Amino acid sequence: MTTRRHDIDALRVIAFGLLILYHTGMAYVADWGFHIKSAHTAEWLQWPMLFMNRWRMCLLFMISGIAIALAAPEGRLLRFAGQRTWRLMLPLIFGMFVVVPIQPYCEGVSSGHVVPGFGDFLLRYWQVRPWPPHSFTGWEHGITWNHLWYLPYLWAYTLILVASMPLLSLPWVRGALATFCRAPAILFIGAPTALLTGFLLRLHPLYPDSGAFFGDWYQHAKYGFVFLAGYLLARDDAFWDRVVSMRKGMLATAMIAVTVWLGLRLAGQLLPPDAIAYRIPDSFWHPFAASVETLYLWTMLLAILGWGKVFLDRPFRWLPYATEAVYPWYMLHQSLIVLLVFVLKPMGLGAWLEPTLVIGGTVAGCALLHELVIRRVAFIRPLFGLKARQRANHEGHGAPSLAASSTMPALHHSR
């Protein structure tokens, strides 16, 4: 019997709520690539987007690691791996062929690389043959997973974790983790920050973000680390006591770090390169900026976990339903966003009305499709990562167990 951690479920729901706002913002932020862009883009949106995108995907990977740990699957590893494969890869395959295609269609038609006519496009898309260059993101593969990239990443990390669990359960490993959780703050914060900084400085220049899985080594290092950290630390009471007691200091540190980091980015945009080089030598500038960025990432993760434990670890009435809805909403939301921008853009509705309708339409579309179709039709449920109705009701009034919800994905196309 596992203990239900309501705060972990609630943080996942909140993070996915932010996902709709973030991906809507991708259509309106100036100078950032996305599948479709509105005519109403704004440079100021870059700053709140930067504030969020440095930690939000890491938070979701960390939550997944925590949820797996709290589910305690060590006595049933093969069964656990099989369940995770089914609940991650079936929705991925279905999503790539059925849910995602509207995105490359809208992208291709908007850029002039695809002839209008969704039926003809879909028949061609299902053939999984390379498209003419630049038809849409992923044209060279003939098919794309777009925002569903998180599913294969999480699947791979989960299988590697399952294979490593016997080693990770050794007494000396648990002892080292207990020592870390009780270590001085400079080590508790500084060691992970240093490791993440090393990834950023060494791997990112060689392997920039791609979302293509193969060769995406910087993202694998970063996301794999926080996923593993979530699993290793989740069952240590000292860790949770620590993040709760340090939550105010962690949040203050994160706010100072992000202020400095964003300030450095702003200075880099406004000051001429020779002026920047004169004030701060190149040998210091880049490592310092990277260190501040990763300090922000790690302390923000710990602050969110600490504050979440304090305020969210309670059985909210809305939480079981919302926990079940996360997976279908994740799969649907970006296709709805892209479709709505594609339809509304020619209407010239203005810089405030258009995004308001996009957000409202996305929320309404996700809610209606989940409530009226996905959760009610038996054969559709597993295609969106949901358990069979009888089994789901038995385990918690329609909400997946914590072990099941550990597979709930998050996504993001442009990191």
The whole-number average pLDDT for the span 277-293 is 76
Amino acid in position 48? P
Tell me: pLDDT of 174 over 60. yes
Tell me: pLDDT of 93 over 80. yes
Tell me: pLDDT of 157 over 80. yes
Query: In this structure, how many other beta carbons lie within 10 angstroms of the beta carbon of residue 195?
Result: 16
C-alpha closest to that of 408 among 79, 10, 4: 10
Alpha-carbon separation of residue 305 from 14, 32, 42, 63, 294 (angstroms): 12, 30, 32, 9, 17
Q: Tens digit of pLDDT for each residue in 354-407?
A: 999 999 999 999 999 999 999 999 999 999 999 987 655 554 443 333 334 444
Q: Tens digit of pLDDT for each residue in 206-264?
A: 999 988 999 999 999 999 999 999 999 999 999 999 999 999 999 999 999 999 999 98
- pLDDT category at 266 given cuts 50, 70, 90 is confident
- pLDDT category at 142 given cuts 50, 70, 90 is very high
| Segments making up each domain of the chain, as ranges | 6-100+145-405
Tell me: pLDDT of 296 over 80. yes
The residues pairing with 42 across neighbouring beta strands, listed in sequence order, are 29
The whole-number average pLDDT for the span 283-301 is 92
Query: Cα–chain-centroid distance for residue 414?
Result: 10
Query: From CA 9, how far away is CA 317, in angstroms rounded?
Result: 12
Sequence-distant (6+) residues with CB within 8 A of 105 are 114, 118, 121, 122, 125, 136
Q: Tens digit of pLDDT for each residue in 110-135?
A: 999 999 999 999 999 999 999 999 99
> What is the structure's pLDDT at 388?
84
> What is the structure's pLDDT at 389?
77
> What is the structure's pLDDT at 264?
87
Q: Which position has the token pair 């100078």?
A: 31
pTM for this model (two decimals) = 0.91
Tell me: pLDDT of 184 over 60. yes
How many residues would you count in the chain? 415
Contact 26, 333 (CB under 8 A): no
Tell me: pLDDT of 278 over 70. no
Helical (H) or strand (E) element with 159: helix 150-168
Percent over 70 (pLDDT), the chain: 89
Query: From CA 66, how far away is CA 77, in angstroms rounded?
Result: 16
Query: In this structure, how many other beta carbons lie within 10 angstroms of the beta carbon of residue 277?
Result: 12
Q: Which position has the token pair 């479920």?
A: 9
Query: Cα–chain-centroid distance for residue 283?
Result: 32
Amino acid in position 137? T
> What is the structure's pLDDT at 413?
39
The residues pairing with 182 across neighbouring beta strands, listed in sequence order, are none
Query: Cα–chain-centroid distance for residue 15?
Result: 8
C-alpha closest to that of 175 among 112, 117, 236, 110: 236
Tell me: pLDDT of 414 over 60. no
The whole-number average pLDDT for the span 180-195 is 96
